[in-house]
Structures are given as structure tokens and as C-alpha cells.
Amino acid sequence: MKKQMIAALFALGCGLSLTSLAVANEGAKSEDNKPMYMAKCPPSCDFTVKSHDKAEVVAMLQEHARTHHNGMVVSDEKAESMIKVVEPK
């Protein structure tokens, strides 16, 4: 009886582990389908930001300009014009 109970628990554990791996793999695949956005500051600064979220890239560019370039204000339109879509390798 103990052996059957241990075998059943082991099989249940293996099944749950494999299910978790399959779900995690699906999550990784869906992330691969999203475009990656990237923006760079001019070469003299060398700041780069990348994200799957375009709004996040805009916000990071604006924050970087404000904090590292003497309070420079970058409009949303200007920041968006600096963004490029990066193709996966």
C-alpha cells in the first residue's frame, strides 16, 4: 500500500512538473513574438534603452534627458522618432 501511494505521489509530481514547464515555455514563446524597441542617445553620451514596451522606452529616454542632459525636455514625438524596432537575432 505504501509503495502504491508513493508511486502515485511521484507520478502526480512528475505530471505537475511537466505541465509547469510547458506553460513556462508558452510564456517565453509569446514574449518572442512581441517587437523589441530600442533607442540611443547621440554617440557622445552612449545611452541605450531596449524594451518590448514602446511607452517604457519613451519614458526612459525622457527621464535620461532630464537627469543627464541639464534638464533637457524631450517631447513624446521626438522620443518616438528616436525609437527603432530591433529584429530578433
What digits encode the pLDDT tens for the residues 28-62?
Answer: 555 567 899 999 988 888 899 999 999 999 999 99
pLDDT in the model for residue 77: 94
- Residue 53 in grid coordinates: 514596451
- According to DSSP, the residues that pair with 37 across neighbouring strands are 51, 85
User: pTM score, two decimals?
Assistant: 0.62
What confidence tens digit (pLDDT) does each residue in 63-81 have? Answer: 999 999 998 999 999 999 9
Residue-by-residue DSSP string for 12-60 = HHHHHHHHHHHHHHHHHHHHHHSPEEEEE--TTT--EEEES-HHHHHHH
- Residue 41 in grid coordinates: 542617445
Which helix (H) or strand (E) covers residue 64, if one does?
Answer: helix 54-68
